[in-house]
Amino acid sequence: MRRPARHNATRMRSVPSTLRPWLLILPVGAALLGAAIAAPEITIRLVPLLILIPAALLLYEYPLAFAVLLVATYGLGVDFELARMASSAVRDGTEEAAASGASEGLGALGAAVVKVMPFVLAAMLTVRYGFASAVNWPFLAFAAIAATSIVVLPMGRVVDLPEMVRSFLGSTAPFVLAFAAAPRRLWSLLCKGVVAVPLVSAAVGVLYDLIGPHFAVDPIYGRFQGMHSAPFLAGFVVTAIFACTLEYLRGFRPIWLVLGAANLLVLFATQARAPTTTVALFLLLVFIAARDRIFPLRRKADLVMGGMLPGLIVLGPAFLYALDRFIGSDGEFNYSGRDVIWPYFVDAIEARPLFGYGLGAGKLIVDPDDPQIRLIRSNAAHNEYLRLAVDAGVVGCAAIFAGIVAWIWGGTRRTARTERVVLRCALVAALFHAAFDNVLIATTGVVQFIWFTAAMARSRLEVRTAPGAAPLPSRPRRGAPAAAGGGGGRRGAA
């Protein structure tokens, strides 16, 4: 039988796929130009929306660019800079802006941007590539607690629905990206990009200090803060050290040792005690848990002996600077206000121990106008176990952390040995860090769990597509004999 000719179909596909979006953008742009000429006042009000639409189409077409934008947003501290601009507008006497709420809106905009961006990236990836196969246990736990808070718990009667939604988005932003599937290149970019977040903050902060109204060193406490605050910058360094360690053990490239040392230098300059202890615990766990197939003894010896002298020369003064805050000038340990804040949360937990008050209740426990709280400049719990026990009770807090452990510990079963060891050691260190800092509600937590998500997803793709990899097991059909070796299945695509 004669096969039909296909020359007509071939001629019809004459427009490259990269140019197809412009077939929509150009006519729409021409129409908008005509509208601007006909009704300029209305068009000016729509300018932000008109800019966002083509930008969204462009980022949808190039998701790697959106990932770079995500990393840059966190590195530049957009939320902190907008908050500083809002506070300076009030201090400088711009009553009109303060009265209209523009300054408060500016600060809220920065907080919203850094929390909404993971949702936007997850939505774009899901539309393009579909859903990931792994169960997102932490997100589901927070969703259940949020629903209970609205219907049953006291927070549903204290705050309005938009405030509850804002608390839910802030709590789930670190985990939403785990719903999406994506190519290996994007996951690899995120795994390596988190290393640059504290370095960008430090470098840009120093330059901004030289040329603009910004303090790279906290003028009150004398701690290096870059484009953030010292605790936030140190929290980003913790994730960067996790990432540097993983990338180094994957190929033993010296560049990751150099980047890790640079991040350690930033960490010591912040004088942050809990992040420094967390990094030390993580590195010790990796050094002990990594067997010869992952981290050969010869490389361990070379790293210790060869890196000791350069490390002492480069990091020694910075370590002594950080040690000054550990021991204190008077020899007494300083809790940085935790001994003042924690009793508030303990009392609230004792009042409602099982199911708590509802999502977001931790923000209402401490009065920000209290003189002691104003002195320590923070009303946050600095302990995620206490904060979540107030929000969701002991039951909900246990469910959230059990979901995190199940998601990471169980998710590493299908990863390579290197990722399995490093990610599990990082999980233990992160759980320790949660007892002393805000590692889930802050943007540092968003970056950290984006790294967990990307590292697990990248490794699972590499395992499935590795040469000679065993196919995924499939259930044999009823009545068919089982094949030797457990059956076959279709491999996942990268």
pLDDT tens, position by position, 402-460? 999 999 999 898 888 999 999 999 999 999 999 988 888 889 999 999 999 999 999 99
Q: Which amino acid is at 477?
A: R
Radius of gyration over every alpha carbon of the chain, rounded to an integer in angstroms: 26
Span 136-156, average pLDDT = 81
**Domain assignments of the chain as residue spans, ordered by start:** 132-465
Mean pLDDT score of the chain? 79
Report for 329-343, 355-369, 473-487: range of highest mean pLDDT: 355-369
Q: Distance between CA atoms of 89 and 107, rounded to whole angstroms?
A: 11
**SS3 annotation, the chain:** CCCCCCHHHHHHCCCCHHHHHHHHHHHHHHHHHHHHHHCHHHHHHCHHHHHHHHHHHHHHHCHHHHHHHHHHHHHCCHHHHHHHHHHHHHHCCCHHHHHHCHHHHHHHHHHHHHHHHHHHHHHHHHHHHCECCCCCHHHHHHHHHHHHHHHCCCHHHHCCHHHHHHHHHHHHCCCHHHHECCCHHHHHHHHHHCCHHHHHHHHHHHHHHHHCCCCCECCCCCCECCCCCHHHHHHHHHHHHHHHHHHHHHHCCHHHHHHHHHHHHHHHHHCCHHHHHHHHHHHHHHHHHCCCCCCCHHHHHHHHHHHHHHHHHHHHHHHHHHHHHHHCCCCCCCCCCHHHHHHHHHHHHHHCCCCCCCCCHHHHCCCCCCHHHHHHCCCCCCCHHHHHHHHHHHHHHHHHHHHHHHHHHHHHHHCCHHHHHHHHHHHHHHHHHCCCCCCCCCHHHHHHHHHHHHHHHHHHHHHHHCCCCCCCCCCCCCCCCCCCCCCCCCCCCC
- Tokens at 439, concatenated: 């590692």
Q: Distance between CA atoms of 232 and 146, rounded to whole angstroms?
A: 26
- Tokens at 227, concatenated: 């484009």
The reported pLDDT for the residue numbered 349 is 87
The reported pLDDT for the residue numbered 58 is 78
Question: Between 92 and 292, where is the model more confident?
Answer: 292
The reported pLDDT for the residue numbered 403 is 94
- Contact at 8 Å (CB) between 407 and 136? yes
**Angle between helices 47-61 and 20-38 in degrees, nearest 10:** 180
Q: Assign residue 336 a region: left if phi > 0, alpha if psi is -120 to 50, beta otherwise?
A: left
Q: Is the pLDDT of residue 248 over 70?
A: yes
The reported pLDDT for the residue numbered 390 is 87
**Angle between helices 102-129 and 443-465 in degrees, nearest 10:** 10
Q: Distance between CA atoms of 8 and 45, rounded to whole angstroms?
A: 47
C-alpha torsion sign, points 105, 108, 109, 112: negative
The reported pLDDT for the residue numbered 2 is 53
- Contact at 8 Å (CB) between 336 and 377? no
Q: Is the pLDDT of residue 32 over 90?
A: no
Give the number of other CB atoms < 10 A from CB of residue 449.
25
The reported pLDDT for the residue numbered 318 is 74
Q: Is the pLDDT of residue 6 over 60?
A: no
The reported pLDDT for the residue numbered 87 is 66
Q: How far apart are the first and last CA of the chain?
A: 38
- Tokens at 359, concatenated: 């999502």
Cα 430 from chain centre: 13
Query: What pTM did the predictor assign?
Result: 0.82
The reported pLDDT for the residue numbered 90 is 45
Q: Is the pLDDT of residue 99 over 60?
A: no
Of 349, 332, 340, the C-alpha closest to 374 is 340
Span 142-170, average pLDDT = 76
CA 425 → CA 135, 284, 405, 408, distances in Å? Answer: 21, 9, 12, 11
Q: Distance between CA atoms of 322 and 234, rounded to whole angstroms?
A: 12
Question: Between 476 and 167, where is the model more confident?
Answer: 167
Of 345, 350, 377, the C-alpha closest to 363 is 345
State the greatest distance between any 2 C-alpha atoms of the chain, in Å, as a whole number: 95
